[in-house]
Chains A and B, each alone.
Chain A
Amino acid sequence: MPLLIRILPIALVLTLWELVARAGVVNPNVFPPVSEIVLRWFAVFADGRIYPPLWSTIWRAVAGLAAAIAVGVPLGLLMGRTRWAEWFFEPLFSFGFPLPKIALIPLYVHWFGIFSLSKVMLIFTDCLFPMVLFSYHGARGLSPMYLWSAQSRGTGRVRMLWRVVLPLSLASIYDGVQVAVVVAVLVAVVTEMVSGGGGLGEMMIRSYRYGDVRTAFATLVTISLVGYALFKLAQWLRGTLLHWHVAEA
């Protein structure tokens, strides 16, 4: 019953939409009925034309995010545990976090070309900020007890970061991943809309140019599902990998 109540408003809106679109007051090519959009969504999967752009967007988002994790986590942890790194990097990343990195698209196209590399690099750049800052805050807020007990056993600096600071900061790092995964899909789609080169963003813009609103809608639904699925995947990974973690208990 609660589920039914939750879904009811959505069902009402969609029904109203269908009725308005079918009433013949608006041009169905501009405002198509929901049922036709749903059919088109199935059709783009059935005829397979959604798969190449779908994979392009997913792999760009994941590659950029993975690179941001690989660079951002060590840097953030270092900032959290080393005074000079904190002094130098913290203002830069705090200052840059809210700024619109999207504005760098033309520069990145100039540096890395119009194909995948410029897009992956921009996704990397944009995701780097949350990854660095969340890792930094994770490493900074650690209870010194853990560090002292490791130090008293003669643990070296590198080993300390890798075996003590990293595992203890994981909860915060995963918070960063959940922020970054949303950013990754957003930036992937915007770069594809602006500079083409395949992907769901380009499919969206191309459908718009051809006046194909049904496909544009089907693409938008797919984009949202990709974002949602990646976010849920990150959430699931967090729960699965972190069940032992002190911050989770």
Chain B
Amino acid sequence: MKAFPVKIIPLLLVLAAWQAASSSGALPQSVLPSFSDVATSLVAMLRSGEIAQHTAASFARAGAGFLAAVAVGVTLGLVMARIDAVQRAVEPILLLIYPIPKPAIIPLFMVWLGIGDFSKIAVIALACMLPIVTATFNGARSVDPMLVWSAQARGTSQRRLLWRVVLPAALPQIAAGVRTAIAIAIIVLVSAEFISSEAGLGYLIFSYGGAGADDAMLAVVIYLAALGFLLDRCYLAGLRRLMSWHAFAH
């Protein structure tokens, strides 16, 4: 985080070059609106509450799918790691789903679950679940057997062992899987909202793009990028605080 101010200079240089090219007329408005126009329309959309309203719609979808993926993914990964029969039953099916580009499932889910929110939430959940299951499974498998043995020696039940010993010990790897899932959630969300929706940031980008309002469209693109970046940063910062007790943090 300390290196952040220095690292932002190249980004500022690119934005300055964009603005300079637009102001000097080298970059026509019809090709790319100037950065100041984009910033102006971003401020206008933030003021009018338009952005907030569509952010809420997107957040609800991505959040619901993501939370479902965390709940199912972590549980499944832990159980797979501790019970061989479950692993043998589930792993081949996961391997089969793995190579499917998840946004391509959206049309099928729309047939089954309708074109509303539910199909989008389901595809986001499916896409986010895979990295979480894999990370949890690998994390739980590599837990120091000493920890497991010492808990078992005290007569800890299998269930308690999972939640109180294996889960905490596997947290760093689970956290990495969840971080991947956040990035995936945003990509699948935008794809789903491009394909069909009446609200959300993807819808907003697509409808402004279709209307030829490039400055407003780019404003939402930049806002979405900043939002994704901030989410990732907040996640990492929160993680560092929550996991300060863990061996990996030292």
List residues of chain A with CB under 8 Å of any chain B CB: 5-10, 13, 30-31, 87-92, 94-95, 98-100, 102-107, 109-111, 182, 185-186, 189-190, 193-194, 200-201, 204-205, 207-208, 211, 213, 216-217, 220, 223-224, 227-228, 231
Flag if A223 contacts B111 (CB, 8 Å): no
User: In the complex, what residues of A have CB within 8 A of residue B31's CB?
Assistant: 111
Flag if A207 contacts B107 (CB, 8 Å): yes
Min CB gap B191→A, angstroms: 5
Min CB gap B138→A, angstroms: 18
Flag if A9 contacts B89 (CB, 8 Å): yes
In this assembly, does B25 line the interface, its C-beta being within 8 Å of a C-beta of chain A?
no
Given A205-B195, A217-B108, check contact A5 B10 (CB 8 Å).
no
Flag if B217 contacts A10 (CB, 8 Å): no
User: In the complex, what residues of B have CB within 8 A of residue A7's CB?
Assistant: 92
Count residues on chain B whose CB falls below 8 Å from chain A CBs. Answer: 50
Given A92-B10, A205-B195, A213-B108, check contact A104 B100 (CB 8 Å).
no
Flag if B103 contacts A91 (CB, 8 Å): no
Flag if A107 contacts B218 (CB, 8 Å): yes
Flag if A102 contacts B194 (CB, 8 Å): yes
User: In the complex, what residues of A have CB within 8 A of residue B83's CB?
Assistant: none
Contact of B232 (CB < 8 Å), options: A5, A90, A91, A98: A98
Flag if B101 contacts A103 (CB, 8 Å): no
Q: Mark the stretch among B139-147, B167-175, B204-212 that contacts chain A.
A: B204-212
Contact of A103 (CB < 8 Å), options: B92, B112, B190, B210: B190
15 interchain pairs, CB-CB under 8 A: A9-B93, A10-B93, A88-B13, A89-B10, A92-B11, A99-B225, A100-B224, A103-B221, A103-B225, A109-B209, A190-B104, A194-B191, A201-B104, A220-B108, A223-B104
The tally of CB-CB contacts under 8 A between chains A and B is 135
User: In the complex, what residues of A have CB within 8 A of residue B205's CB?
Assistant: 103, 106
Flag if A98 contacts B195 (CB, 8 Å): no
Q: How distant is the Cα of A31 from the Cα of B109 in the complex, in angstroms?
A: 11
Min CB gap A178→B, angstroms: 12
Give the interface centre of A105, A111, A182 by most chain B CB atoms within 10 Å: A105
Contact of B111 (CB < 8 Å), options: A89, A109, A211: A211
In this assembly, does B238 line the interface, its C-beta being within 8 Å of a C-beta of chain A?
no
Given A107-B218, A213-B111, check contact A6 B194 (CB 8 Å).
no
Contact of A87 (CB < 8 Å), options: B10, B206, B210, B214: B10
Q: How distant is the Cα of A208 from the Cα of B62 in the complex, in angstroms?
A: 23
Flag if B88 contacts A9 (CB, 8 Å): yes
User: In the complex, what residues of B have CB within 8 A of residue A190's CB?
Assistant: 101, 103-104, 191, 194
